[in-house]
């Protein structure tokens, strides 16, 4: 089992371009697994973790409700935002500058074969990161992601999650509001949840800006611990 994960920080990249990159890496791992089974070989499968920021974009999961997008095409254009219906789980969410988006593309057979556990560990990496900033974040029963003040009238989500998996290979991941413009969430019913708000790390800390590089380092550290993995900075994404 390969417990090494290559980490790439792609900077700000268009959503569709990153989606295509994910699909390419996802297919690379799937093809290798299929080859191993057909040819009775034991070639090592790689694992990737992509950090990225997107220009303003709304994405709707395969089970989502389009009515949770509160803008028409002209309004989207006026706000400089795009929209994609995609192949992850979950409903609608927003991505934009000031948000740390993480896409782990892992062969879970290198770690464990349990999607529920996978999602819980993604949440835990964010929960532990927030604890380093003195904030107590939690889960909300029946609602994937990371929250603050669950069970109170002030419950608010700080990190959304949605994944796809096939043959235990994952893609998509989490979107952590760090210095996010929360006004863009007013244009959707986030994740289809009407009675809870959203927040961002800088808002919770009462500061103008949080160091995103520092946050990424903390997430990667906790991710490595939780997955019992070695996370190394990759030099160049493979070209297929």
Active site residues: 191
Is 151 labelled a binding residue?
A: no
Is 185 labelled a binding residue?
A: no
Q: Quick check: 120 and 35 in contact, CB under 8 A?
A: no
Is 91 labelled a binding residue?
A: yes
Name residue 50's beta-bridge partners. Answer: 8, 103
Is 1 labelled a binding residue?
A: no
Is 175 labelled a binding residue?
A: yes
Tally of CA atoms within 13 A in the half-sphere of 24 that contains its CB: 11
Q: Quick check: 171 and 28 in contact, CB under 8 A?
A: no
Is 229 labelled a binding residue?
A: no
Q: What is the DSSP letter of 34?
A: H
Is 160 labelled a binding residue?
A: yes
Q: Quick check: 108 and 165 in contact, CB under 8 A?
A: yes
Cα–Cα dist 143/139, whole Å: 8
The binding site comprises 88-95, 160-162, 173-175
The binding site for substrate comprises 88-95, 160-162, 173-175
């Amino acid at each position: 089992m390969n417990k090494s994960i290559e980490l790439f920080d792609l900077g700000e990249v268009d959503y569709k371009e990153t989606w295509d990159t994910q699909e390419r890496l996802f297919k690379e791992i799937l093809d290798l697994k299929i080859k191993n089974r057909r040819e009775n070989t034991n070639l090592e499968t790689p694992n990737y973790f992509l950090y990225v920021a997107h220009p303003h974009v709304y994405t709707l999961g395969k089970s989502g409700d389009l009515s949770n997008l509160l803008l028409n095409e002209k309004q989207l254009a006026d706000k400089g935002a795009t929209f994609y219906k995609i192949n992850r789980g979950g409903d609608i969410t927003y991505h934009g500058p000031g948000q740390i988006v993480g896409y782990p593309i892992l062969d879970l057979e290198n770690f464990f074969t349990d999607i529920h556990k996978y999602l819980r560990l993604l949440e835990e990496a964010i929960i532990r990161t927030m604890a380093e900033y003195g904030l107590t974040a939690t889960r909300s029963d029946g609602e994937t992601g990371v929250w603050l003040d669950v069970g109170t009238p002030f419950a608010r989500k700080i990190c959304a999650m949605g994944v796809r998996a096939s043959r235990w290979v994952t893609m998509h991941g989490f979107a952590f509001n760090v210095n996010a413009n929360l006004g863009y969430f007013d244009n959707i019913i986030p994740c289809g949840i009407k009675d809870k708000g959203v927040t961002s790390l800088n808002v919770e800390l009462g500061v103008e800006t949080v160091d995103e590089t520092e946050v990424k380092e903390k997430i990667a550290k906790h991710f490595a611990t939780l997955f019992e993995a070695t996370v190394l900075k990759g030099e160049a994404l493979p070209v297929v």
